[in-house]
Every structure is written in structure tokens, then in C-alpha cells.
Chain A
Amino acid sequence: MNGNHRFPNLSPDDVFEEAASRLETGESIESILASYPHADTTELADFLRIIQVAQQIQHEPVPLPSPARRSAAKQNFLNAAADLRRQELAAQVNRPARIAEPPRRRAAPPPAPSILERVVGGLQAVFSVRTLRLAPLIVTLALVLLSVSTFVTVAQSAVPGDLTYSFKQWMRKQELQLAPPDRREIVRQMQEQEMAEDVKKAAERADNNSAVIQAEDTQVFYGRMGRLLKIGGLTVMDRYQPDANVEEFRPMEIEGDLIPGATVNLIYQIMPGQSDTVQGISLSVVAPPAETPTPEAPVPAVIDVQPRDAACTVEQPDGWVEYEVVPGDNLTFLAKRGEVAVEELIAVNCLESETILIGARLYLPAEAVGPQPAITCGAGVPEDWVAYEVQVGDNLTRLAEARGTTVDELMAANCLTSDTIVIGSTLYLPAP
């Protein structure tokens, strides 16, 4: 390869390239070799023969790939790309916020509290709502503070859980007592509506990290249905969770003869986010029903034991069973399970709205209550299955085929809710 050639300025690399190009144009090896009398023609001839065979390969027909496999391969490629996009998106969401980006989930800082709010806040830390009524000192202080109009404003916007809510309750009481007898009932109804609103606001304002809000109020007991009692503007469950994070209930303590129309003192708690109902901690009857029947108050969503609407009485239809509403239930879902219309459930149970409360007892078709299809997810990974890290190009169908199982089994064992799998995630598969 170090042979001389007719162009002294051409390196052996150049000579080879030139010869190869000439071969490509169709010139014969002999003719090319003749042009390089000083080159190592034996070597160059070998090179050119090699190239000739390579060119034959180049011109051999290439069979087309099977259209089915080709299209499946492209789909697989696009699916893998989609998986990566999702993965990168998820990574972006989980990545700690960068310079200018404020943390997404952190709420805006609350506005700086006013002096009054700080005073109230300080008091709140010292006195609980229950101790308040026992502390004449606080009442005196309250009277002083009441002279400040700002305080009244704060109190008016208070919701259960705020110290100033006690003053709001007190003001309501005064308002009720001062109201002319013929207007008293209207005032009461108005106040009950406000009370329901207050509870709703408090529940909405609290997030899952907030403590459970406890409050106390004296109101009229209107009636009960199953677990739910209608007290003033509140719908009260007859049990409560001592620990909001544990689904464990204690019964509400009831003291006295609880008959509709009685005035009761209720201690209750508002669960964060649960605006429809409160949990009753204890209840004591402070006054029996007035001799003149208590004027009727609207009773939304809950039916009294003695329905005022005589036309609607709850009777257990044949084939229906009693059922206690659990978290996650709703009428549409229950009706679907029982293969009946929502309206039928409402009619049979004398409901006044579609809202049902956890713990309420309803009559439902037996099918709605019977055993539901077994949910295998969470049943655990079969013993002989092994962990596997999802690779680029994997999909459930392919993995299921490769490991002799089905997509459904893979989804169940891995608690997947869709057939999308993410590269790098761990799946359990039958051992190869």
C-alpha cells in the first residue's frame, strides 16, 4: 500500500479513494490497475475486489419489512415517546421549584393580622369556647371590646372555631330575645340558615392539615333519621371521630329526654372539608319542648321521625335492605348498583335532596348492597412474581405475552388503573 503511483502528491489513501470511485463508475479493475503502474497492484487489486463484492451487496434487493410488524414497531415507538413525555412532565411537576417559580402547593401567606385579631388570637389560645361561658372576666373584656366597632365586624364574620364566634352566638341570642314574639320564629329560621352557612364556611376554610374545629351551641332539636339529627341549622351525626385521621367513631353522649322541639345544648365538631354535616360529641337537653308546638323550621335533606309531610313515610320495600352510607357513596352510584333510578331511592327513603350523609341509613335494593365484584388489586403480588424495571419499548401487552400472563392480571397485581406504564417504574411480573 505504500507503492508509488503516477501522481507523487497523492497519498496511498488518496490513491485508494480515487480507485474506489472509478470502480463505482463502472470502470473495470484491470483498467484501473493499469492507471497505477507504480502502485502495489496486487494489494490494490485485492482492495478493489473487496469493494466490488460490497457493491454487489449494495445492489442486492432488500426485502421489505412486513407491513404489520412495521406499523406495530412505529406504534410502539410513539407509545414509548408518549411514556417519556409523561415521565418528563411528572418529573417537572415533582421537581423542586426553581428560582422565580413559587411553590405550587403553598397557599398565599395570610394577610398580617390586625391588632385586634392578634388580641383575639391570644385569647383564643388561652380560653376554649367551653371555658368562655365560665369566665366572667372574659365577658367583661368582651363588653369592653364590643365598644370597638371593628370588633363587631370581626365577630360578625366569625365562623365556628374562631374565638369571636362566641360573641356572634351571643349577639344572635340577644337578637332572638329582643325580637317581637311574632317575628321571633322568622329570626330563628334566619339565624339557623346563617349557622349552617357558618359551618360550611369553617369546613371549607379548613384544609386537611387543619385541626378539627369544635364548637358549642344551644339550638332546637327538630328530629332525627337514623344517625342524623336536625338541630337548629345543623345536620348532626350521632357519633364523632376522636381522631380525625382515624376512621373510628365514638357515639355522641345524649343527656336528657330528646324529643323534637326540645332546646338542646350541643357540642360538635366540624371535619375539614365536610360541609354538609357535623359530628355530635355530646348533647344535653336544656329545655323540653314549649307547650305550644315549636313552629316548624325547614328541614332540608333530613327527614324527621315524625314527618310533617304525612304523605311520605319510610317503608322498607320487599327485597330492599337497610344500608349505612359510607364515605364515597352517592345516590347515583348506589342507584346504579341497585339498578333503580335515583328518584326511586329518593322517594322510598323520603329524601329531600340527592345529598346523602355518611352514616345515614337508607333502604336500598339488595343487589346494591350485595357483594361487589372482587377487587383483586391489593390482594398482593403472587409469590413467584419478581420485580422488573420498565424499559423503553415495554408495554403491558408485550410484558404479559413474554411472561405468560394477561394484561388484566398484570394490572390487578400492580394496582394499575390504566394500561399505561412508565419507563423506570417497577412492576411485578411472573418470573421469566
Chain B
Amino acid sequence: MPTDYSEEELLERASNLDEEALSELYDRYEMKIYSYIYRRTSDQTLAEDLTSQVFLKMLEAIHNDKTWHSSFSGWLYRIAHNLVIDHYRTRDRQKQISIDDAPIMPDTGVSPVRAAEIALDSEYLKSAIRRLTDEQALVISLRFLEGYSFGEIAEMMDKTEGAVKALQHRAVATLRQLLVHE
């Protein structure tokens, strides 16, 4: 049963473990987080499982006084992102490479456009997004997979618009490197 509380009031009450507020926040964000994780993983069961973990992590954070500083939704998406990354890291440790180890696009003389075209497939892209740094992955996912506006992302990530702009540009450049290489 939705209440008339503003998001701010809800968050205040939720941080005191108020059941009603927690329940409503859960309802407000559950599908968003689920969709976010599903789009990153294409796995319904995994998305369901990780979504519930996101909310339990939220409780754990409230309990340990390590909650959101500015944007609750940005904080929640960040938890979701971390869980997605953790999941793949655990599942497929050998295949994972961190962004630092990501190969620089070799100058093979092959047209990048062509190379990218060959590699461009949604699963490849999802896999490549998982290899971005956390912030790059978050900004790319929120902007292009979830359709949040630029300003919303800046608020969610507690960054200036200029910083987000630079971040997404770098992220796409990294994706290009990864995809062309693959």
C-alpha cells in the first residue's frame, strides 16, 4: 500500500528500519533494479537472486551505518553493479581481466569501424561493459541501458555534469577498444 511520504521522508524512516518505509522503498525500486541487472546479465533467475541481494545489502548497510550519502537510487544501482561484477568474477575468474589489463587496441590497420561492426552484438557489449571500471560501467548502464538523463545520472553519482560527460566519453572509448579487439 503506497504511502504519501516523499522519498526523503521514506529514506529517513527506512534508515531507522521502519518496516512500512522499507517495504515501500522495496516496491519502488525492485523492478528498476531487477531490470538493470537483467539487462546486464540476460539471466532472469540470476537477476531475481541478485535483486534480492541488493536489498539485503541495503539493510546490512543501514545496520552498519554505511548508507547512501547523496543519491539513494545511485547508491542502490552501485550495489547492483557491484553484485553483477562479483557474480561474474566468482563464476569465471580466469576469463576476467580488469580494465588495467585490457589490451590496448592494436594498430592492425583494420578499420576500427569494421572491427567494431564485427564484434558488435549485445552479449559482447554486456560482457565489455562488465570490464569497465565501476564508474564507467555505471554511467554507461544508466545512460544507455536504463535511459536515465544526463542530469539524473550526475545527481545519482554525486558528480558534476562535466565529470559525468567525461566519464561516459572515456567509457565508450574503452568499450570501443575492447570490442574492436574482440
Q: Which residues of A contact B38 (CB under 8 A)?
A: 62-63
**Does A148 lie at the interface of the complex (its beta carbon under 8 Å from any beta carbon of B)?**
no
Given A13-B169, A65-B47: A58 in contact with B146 (beta carbons within 8 A)? yes
**Does A98 lie at the interface of the complex (its beta carbon under 8 Å from any beta carbon of B)?**
no
Q: Which residues of A contact B53 (CB under 8 A)?
A: 393
Q: Which residues of B contact A50 (CB under 8 A)?
A: 116, 120, 125, 172, 175-176, 179
Which residue of A1, A65, A66 has the most chain B CB atoms within 10 A of its CB atom? Answer: A65
How far is it, in angstroms, between the C-alpha of A393 and the C-alpha of B55 when the chains are bound?
10
**Does B51 lie at the interface of the complex (its beta carbon under 8 Å from any beta carbon of A)?**
yes
Q: Does A57 contact B173, Cβ atoms closer than 8 Å?
A: no
B59: contacting residue among A1, A14, A62, A77, CB under 8 A: A77
Stretch at the interface among A82-90, A303-311, A381-389: A82-90
How far is it, in angstroms, between the C-alpha of A66 and the C-alpha of B146 when the chains are bound?
21
Q: Which residues of B contact A392 (CB under 8 A)?
A: 56-57, 59-60, 63
Q: Which residues of A contact B57 (CB under 8 A)?
A: 392
Q: Does A49 contact B145, Cβ atoms closer than 8 Å?
A: no
Residues facing B in A66-92 (CB within 8 A) are 66, 69-70, 73-74, 76-78, 80-82, 84-85, 87-88
Q: Does A81 contact B22, Cβ atoms closer than 8 Å?
A: yes
Q: Does B111 contact A42, Cβ atoms closer than 8 Å?
A: yes
**Does B83 lie at the interface of the complex (its beta carbon under 8 Å from any beta carbon of A)?**
no
**Does A53 lie at the interface of the complex (its beta carbon under 8 Å from any beta carbon of B)?**
yes
B56: contacting residue among A17, A45, A80, CB under 8 A: A80
Q: Which residues of B contact A1 (CB under 8 A)?
A: 169, 173
Q: Quick one: CB contact mask for A138-157 with B, threshold 8 Å, 1 for yes?
A: 00000000000000000000
Q: Does B48 contact A66, Cβ atoms closer than 8 Å?
A: yes
How far is it, in angstroms, between the C-alpha of A13 and the C-alpha of B162 when the chains are bound?
8
Q: Quick one: CB contact mask for A12-29 with B, threshold 8 Å, 1 for yes?
A: 111011001100000000
**Does B1 lie at the interface of the complex (its beta carbon under 8 Å from any beta carbon of A)?**
no
A84: contacting residue among B34, B48, B59, CB under 8 A: B59
Q: Does B51 contact A77, Cβ atoms closer than 8 Å?
A: no
Q: Does B51 contact A65, Cβ atoms closer than 8 Å?
A: yes
Given A55-B144, A80-B56: A62 in contact with B172 (beta carbons within 8 A)? no
B122: contacting residue among A12, A53, A69, A393, CB under 8 A: A53
Q: Does B122 contact A57, Cβ atoms closer than 8 Å?
A: yes
Q: A86 CB to closest chain B CB, in angstroms?
A: 10
**Does A409 lie at the interface of the complex (its beta carbon under 8 Å from any beta carbon of B)?**
no
Q: A231 CB to closest chain B CB, in angstroms?
A: 58
How far is it, in angstroms, between the C-alpha of A50 and the C-alpha of B115 when the chains are bound?
12
Given A46-B176, A81-B19: A58 in contact with B144 (beta carbons within 8 A)? yes
B125: contacting residue among A53, A62, A82, CB under 8 A: A53
Residues facing A in B88-140 (CB within 8 A) are 111-113, 116-117, 120-122, 125-126, 140
Q: A131 CB to closest chain B CB, in angstroms?
A: 61
Q: Which residues of A contact B144 (CB under 8 A)?
A: 20, 51, 54-55, 57-58
| Closest residue of A by beta carbon distance from B22 | A81
Chain A contact residues (Cβ within 8 angstroms of B): what range? 35 or more
Q: Does A57 contact B19, Cβ atoms closer than 8 Å?
A: no
Q: Does B173 contact A47, Cβ atoms closer than 8 Å?
A: yes
Given A46-B180, A49-B117: A65 in contact with B34 (beta carbons within 8 A)? yes
How far is it, in angstroms, between the C-alpha of A45 and the C-alpha of B175 when the chains are bound?
13
Q: Does B169 contact A12, Cβ atoms closer than 8 Å?
A: yes
How far is it, in angstroms, between the C-alpha of A1 and the C-alpha of B176 when the chains are bound?
12
Residues facing A in B40-72 (CB within 8 A) are 44, 47-48, 51-53, 55-57, 59-60, 62-63
Q: Which residues of B contact A315 (CB under 8 A)?
A: none
How far is it, in angstroms, between the C-alpha of A277 and the C-alpha of B172 when the chains are bound?
86
**Does A401 lie at the interface of the complex (its beta carbon under 8 Å from any beta carbon of B)?**
no
Q: Does B180 contact A58, Cβ atoms closer than 8 Å?
A: no
Residues facing A in B17-34 (CB within 8 A) are 17, 19, 22-23, 26-27, 30, 34
How far is it, in angstroms, between the C-alpha of A93 and the C-alpha of B151 when the chains are bound?
45
Q: Which residues of B contact A393 (CB under 8 A)?
A: 52-53, 56
How far is it, in angstroms, between the C-alpha of A12 and the C-alpha of B169 when the chains are bound?
8
**Does A247 lie at the interface of the complex (its beta carbon under 8 Å from any beta carbon of B)?**
no
**Does B75 lie at the interface of the complex (its beta carbon under 8 Å from any beta carbon of A)?**
no
Q: Which residues of A contact B165 (CB under 8 A)?
A: 13-14, 16-17
Given A13-B165, A13-B166: A81 in contact with B59 (beta carbons within 8 A)? yes
Q: Does A77 contact B26, Cβ atoms closer than 8 Å?
A: yes
Q: Does A46 contact B116, Cβ atoms closer than 8 Å?
A: yes
Q: Does A46 contact B112, Cβ atoms closer than 8 Å?
A: yes
How far is it, in angstroms, between the C-alpha of A392 and the C-alpha of B22 when the chains are bound?
15
**Does B39 lie at the interface of the complex (its beta carbon under 8 Å from any beta carbon of A)?**
yes
Given A58-B144, A84-B59: A73 in contact with B17 (beta carbons within 8 A)? no
Q: Which residues of A contact B35 (CB under 8 A)?
A: 62
Q: Quick one: CB contact mask for B157-174 with A, threshold 8 Å, 1 for yes?
A: 000001001101100110
Among all A-B residue pairs, the 9 with the closest Cβ atoms? A54-B144, A73-B52, A13-B165, A393-B56, A13-B169, A16-B169, A65-B48, A46-B116, A47-B172
Extra contacts, 9 of them, besides A20-B168, A49-B120, A423-B63 (Cβ < 8 A), are: A13-B165, A50-B120, A58-B144, A58-B147, A65-B48, A76-B52, A78-B26, A87-B63, A393-B52
B residues at A contact (CB < 8 Å): 17, 19, 22-23, 26-27, 30, 34-35, 38-39, 44, 47-48, 51-53, 55-57, 59-60, 62-63, 111-113, 116-117, 120-122, 125-126, 140, 143-147, 150, 162, 165-166, 168-169, 172-173, 175-176, 179-180
A-B contact pairs, 10 of them (CB 8 A): A13-B162, A16-B172, A50-B175, A51-B144, A54-B125, A57-B126, A65-B48, A65-B51, A82-B19, A393-B56
